[in-house]
Amino acid sequence: MKRITLIGAVLALAACGPTMKELDLEAAGLPATMQAPEGASAEAARGGGVHVTAEGFDLLVRQRALDLAAEKAEVAGNERYAIPVDAEDALLTEFEALGGPFYRAFVNVEVGGETWSCQTDALANVTDSSMGEAMVEACRSLTAK
């Protein structure tokens, strides 16, 4: 019985998502910090902003807002998409392809009096729902330095 309980506890912890740590984005070009999975890296992105990546985690952080209504309209009515998070500031989409789900986050957040955004690259390999939710929360954690 103890073994079953222990296995259940390990599975429950695994479902909670990644361990998050503060990540400084300043060296990559943005005067901010955010919570990101342990081991995440931040690099200057082509076209501006900072690309934050870790295994199964992908966000492009920019100093401009996204049109969340347009992003939602793009997937609305498509039966291959679900929207696990649909909030005023965030959208998390789930796309069924190649036998499994893929997640993309689109988030607007206030940072130092400006609206910044995060979004997942369309080709990113984010296949875990807890990592998708972690991307939304990571963006919401952005703080100006």
Whether pLDDT at 5 is above 70: no
Q: Model-level pTM? A: 0.86
Q: Are the CB atoms for 93 and 86 separated by under 8 Å? A: no
Whether pLDDT at 99 is above 90: no
- Mean pLDDT across 15-32: 92
In the chain, which ranges are continuous DSSP H helix? 2-14, 68-75, 129-140
Per-residue pLDDT of 56-88, as tens digits, reads: 999 999 999 999 999 999 998 899 999 999 999
DSSP state of 1: -
54-63 core/surface letters (b: 16 or more CB in 10 A; e: else):
bebbbbbbbb
- Residues 66, 118: Cα–Cα separation, whole Å: 8
Dmax (CA) of the chain? 56
